[in-house]
Structure 1
């Protein structure tokens, strides 16, 4: 198996490590094809090194190129302070558009058409564990208290039952409720006169 040009060039440059260097030398001792290729690479290397330009040959051309750049490129570049162009890359535009869509979607999802936030419509409710008792006072929310006055206890229980709530009602004591109209009737009645006993 013959050596490739990369290994031969590395050997010519003197950059080949020791275990491989001895193997390349041994291979070159018996392989005529690799020896021929090595000689070709040596001649190519010598030709390239001999054709390299010296600093004296480069200097006049270097001055011509620099003067051409100064005249044609630097002088034509006119800097205008008021007209600046901004370059924006496509990923930056896409990221900005995506952020705008996410924010707009969030605003549309979490606000009502009348402008009130949805937190006022749908309050956060902690679901109690099974079998626990939840006490509700009508005085906690005045508007709810006014609404509850319009319904009977039976209607409220039916509504809660239809919503899937388990309601347990315990009556501690029964007291008759006297409405104002009943009190007026009681107060307007005259007490019955005590019968007099004749002797």
Structure 2
């Protein structure tokens, strides 16, 4: 019986696909964003710790760069309006607190260009939903209500604006309820033009 080898018969078999092994991880409770916060820690990484940078207490992580978290509540000063900033560094910084402080101070003092510095000025941080309120209100003040969404017809236009206004009102009520004055939040840096004074509604 004749047999003939093919090229596939003489080549090495393909390697087995790599087996993915997830690093064990666990939760550690620390402080961030004005209250307790659960940090995810990968096995072998240092646990979060607190540092003071120019009088501001922050929590330092050590997974995936050098994440920094604000510890004080909304409206407090930080080097990011989100209350969080991750610095791209190699591992091994967790045992060098003085070097971490120096790096953050350089960022604070660096020119405010392309998000690479604060220009020497710290900013107030606000939760995502508060910054969403800023954007929503700015948007509603920028566009002409009589023309925006008029392609859908008058009835639909009125419905959309009513839903948009209700979203803004709900965020303002939540801010008052949580002790945040919308007038202290103010307008976003990108807003052009006047900004209204927000009156507290009865019962808010």
Which TM-score bucket, shorter chain as reference?
under 0.3
Q: TM-score, normalised by structure 2?
A: 0.16
Q: TM-score, normalised by structure 1?
A: 0.16
Specify which structure has the bigger relative contact order, considering alpha-carbon pairs within 8 angstroms and separated by 6 or more residues. Answer: 2
